[in-house]
Amino acid sequence: MICKAGDKLVVNTSNRHLTLKWSDLEHYRGERGKRGAKLPRGFQRVESVVVEKS
């Protein structure tokens, strides 16, 4: 995993950003062979991802 419990994941697009808390990430995580949920509309073309350590 990229981040630890308590960290925040910031998803950046060309003109917006979305901050996901650790508890929010479970919704987007998928099991082996399965996909997780898609990111919200407007955040599907990700330019960068940043982990904010707590």
Identity of residue 42: G
For residue 25, CA distances in Å to 13, 53, 54 come to 18, 15, 16
**pLDDT interval class at 12 (50, 70, 90):** very high
Largest CA distance in the chain: 32
Tens digits of per-residue pLDDT, 16-53?
999 999 888 888 888 887 888 889 999 999 999 999 99
Enter the pTM of the model: 0.78
Q: pLDDT value at position 9?
A: 93
For residue 11, count other CB atoms closer than 10 A to its CB. Answer: 19
